């Protein structure tokens, strides 16, 4: 069973129950979707609040509070401040019994330097630096709304099983989920489901890039750059020497390796030899072993740069994540649920906004794509990095994307920020909540599919697999974004 036509997998799951049971389940699904729709105003309230007040990684105080409040209002048991992260939480509802524990992931952090109004032209918001350029203002609230609907379904149908929401901070480079995995918070979870804002609707289960990130801080000796340059040792020289060697290294790393950096501190004045300087690096590849090897070479280059410039260097790792481990078994369930929901329908206002915004895109796609669900597939390449990867290596995991952005919009762009604060973003988030709720309920009804997903999971990990985090550090870098907070 490799490809699912519209609703085929959900129908197959229920076929053995007979027509009366199917009719009963169809009625229950209608009630489930009604519960999601009932919470549409709550979803809009949360998505707008998180968009209007974007908070960076580990600093999502208000964002986390809003998500937790919405869950407590629905009688979830919320445990806040887990795994050493003040803004992380786990919320639980339902009764365990013989049913599975299904986790929904909820991200919430914004990106620095991405301020943008909800307009189809470039318009940074005065006095605001951050912006929801990856749509996490939509991600967390939609997961919360889906979980509230699933809780209602569990109770109304007397179904065994637990629904959980994992509030996961600092996905953007802070590896928040990794600390939750390391703390054992997923040890008793049977299935993890997630979604992500996108410019298309898809349940493809593709891979991603493993990633290690960190900051190299060089320390030198300050001096007057004109009167006594011989007495100085430039920390910026150390940074630039490292960057030069890293760029030379690009020719001699495995294909598919990504190396990128920004100089986060280059000194304060040209006439002062910089005493301190800092550069922030990412290394990515589909194979975590390659990432470890290349980053180890980068650290040796940093030592050489320091030796050659008469400076010293220290390294702080900020993040480290695995590549995604796909699940075809779960992917087909989510594909069927997403096709049941369908794509996003634009009204006249949406079309006007989208058409104007597309004038700024270098690769616009037909607006009709927002209303379509892309063909299903599995094991294709992926070029982003996410800490969902670590979750996927300890529990069977699958996700979807919905059209929250105008077709052709890239992530981490001002266009993504604009749509994430527009009705287009909210409509895509509502579709994601519907599909996640339907997918979770299909799994509660089908313990055989849950077991199939677990068997596939073990097969893909391989015999003898033992999870070892890509992170050297034991505590979260809670201040890794504070330098850019405004």
Picking from 161, 436, 173, 456, the residue whose alpha carbon sits closest to that of residue 325 is 456
Q: How confident is the model at residue 438 (pLDDT cuts 50, 70, 90)?
A: very high
The CA-to-CA distance between both ends of the chain, in Å, stands at 51
Nearest to 482 by CA among 146, 61, 162, 13: 61
pLDDT score, position 5: 47
Which residues neighbour 333 within 8 Å (Cβ) at sequence distance 6 or greater? 9, 10, 398, 439, 442, 443, 446, 449
Residue 22: pLDDT band (50, 70, 90) is confident
% residues pLDDT > 70 (the chain): 95
Q: Is 194 helix (H, G, I), strand (E, B) or coil?
A: strand
Cβ within 8 Å of residue 296, ≥6 positions away: none
Q: Which DSSP string do the residues of 362-401 spell out, in sequence order?
A: SS---GGGGGSBPPP-BS-------THHHHHTTS-EEEEE
Given its phi and psi angles, is residue 3 left (phi above 0), alpha (psi -120 to 50 degrees) or beta?
beta
How far apart (Å, rounded) are the C-alpha atoms in residues 237 and 412? 30
What class is the 210-321 domain?
alpha beta
Question: What tens digit of pLDDT does each residue of 212-269 get?
Answer: 999 999 999 999 999 999 999 999 999 999 999 999 999 999 999 999 999 999 999 9
pLDDT at 96 over 90: no
Q: Check residue 250 and report its DSSP letter.
A: G
Domain boundaries, the chain: 8-207+326-461, 210-321
Taken in order 369, 1, 103, 392, is the CA torsion positive or negative? Answer: negative
Q: Compute the mean pLDDT over every residue in the chain, rounded to the nearest whole number.
A: 94
In angstroms, the CA 166 to CA 152 distance is 18
**How confident is the model at residue 485, as a pLDDT?**
47
The H or E element that residue 295 is part of is helix 288-309
Percent of the chain whose predicted confidence (pLDDT) is above 90: 90
* pLDDT tens digits along 468-484: 999 988 999 999 898 64
Residue with tokens 């001699």: 252
| pLDDT above 70: residue 393 | yes
Note the CATH number of domain 8-207+326-461.
Answer: 3.40.630.10
Q: Kindly report, residue by residue over 148-185, the tens digit of the pLDDT.
A: 999 999 999 999 999 999 999 999 989 999 999 999 99
173: left (phi over 0), alpha (psi -120 to 50) or beta: left
CA distances from 146 to 187, 328, 362, 419, 433 (A): 22, 22, 34, 21, 5
Q: Which residues pair with 282 in a beta bridge?
A: 213, 260
Residue 8: which residues within 8 A CB-CB, separation 6 or more? Answer: 336
The answer to whether residue 24 scores a pLDDT higher than 80 is no
Is the pLDDT assigned to residue 14 strictly greater than 90? no
What are the tokens at 323?
């590549």
Q: How far apart, in whole angstroms, are the C-alpha atoms of residue 321 and residue 180?
A: 12
């Amino acid at each position: 069973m490799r490809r699912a036509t519209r609703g085929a997998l959900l129908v197959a799951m229920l076929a053995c129950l007979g027509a009366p049971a199917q009719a009963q389940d169809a009625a229950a699904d209608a009630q489930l979707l009604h519960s999601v729709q009932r919470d549409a105003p709550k979803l809009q309230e949360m998505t707008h609040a998180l968009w209007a007040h974007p908070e960076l990684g580990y600093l999502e105080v208000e964002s986390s509070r809003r998500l937790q409040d919405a869950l407590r209002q629905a009688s979830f048991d919320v445990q806040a401040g887990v795994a050493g992260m003040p803004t992380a939480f786990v919320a639980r509802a339902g009764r365990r019994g013989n049913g599975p524990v299904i986790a929904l992931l909820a991200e919430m952090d914004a990106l620095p330097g991405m301020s943008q109004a909800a307009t189809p032209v470039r318009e940074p918001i005065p006095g605001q630096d951050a912006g929801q350029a990856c749509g996490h203002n939509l991600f967390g609230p939609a997961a919360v709304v889906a979980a509230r609907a699933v809780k209602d379904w569990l109770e109304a149908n007397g179904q065994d099983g637990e629904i959980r929401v994992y509030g996961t901070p600092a996905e953007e480079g802070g590896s928040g989920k990794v600390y939750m995995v390391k703390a054992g918070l997923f040890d008793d979870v049977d299935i993890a489901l997630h979604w992500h804002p996108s410019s298309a609707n898809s349940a493809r289960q593709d891979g991603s890039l493993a990633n290690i990130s960190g900051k190299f801080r060089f320390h030198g000796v300050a001096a007057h750059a004109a009167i006594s340059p011989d007495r100085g040792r430039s920390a910026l020289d150390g940074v630039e020497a490292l960057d030069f060697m890293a760029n030379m290294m690009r020719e001699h790393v495995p294909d598919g390796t990504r190396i990128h950096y920004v100089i986060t501190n280059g000194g304060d004045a040209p006439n002062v030899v910089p005493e301190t300087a800092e550069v922030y690096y990412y290394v990515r590849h589909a194979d975590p072993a390659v990432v470890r090897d290349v980053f180890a070479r980068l650290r040796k280059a940093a030592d050489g740069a320091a030796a050659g410039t008469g400076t010293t260097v220290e390294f702080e790792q900020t993040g480290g994540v695995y590549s995604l481990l796909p699940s075809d078994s779960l992917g087909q369930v989510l594909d069927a649920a997403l096709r049941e929901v369908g794509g996003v329908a634009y009204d006249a206002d949406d079309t006007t906004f989208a058409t104007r915004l597309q004038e700024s895109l270098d690769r616009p796609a037909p607006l009709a794509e927002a209303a379509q669900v892309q063909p299903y597939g599995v094991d294709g390449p992926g070029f982003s990095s996410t800490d969902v990867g670590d979750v996927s290596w300890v529990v069977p995991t699958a996700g979807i994307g919905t059209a929250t952005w105008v077709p052709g919009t890239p992530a981490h762009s001002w266009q993504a920020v604009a749509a994430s604060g527009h009705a287009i973003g909210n409509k895509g988030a509502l579709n994601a909540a519907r599909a996640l709720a339907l997918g979770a309920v299909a799994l509660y009804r089908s313990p055989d599919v849950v077991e199939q997903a677990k068997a596939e999971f073990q097969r893909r990990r391989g015999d003898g697999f033992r999870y070892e985090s890509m992170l050297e550090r034991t505590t979260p870098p809670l201040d890794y974004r504070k330098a850019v907070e405004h």
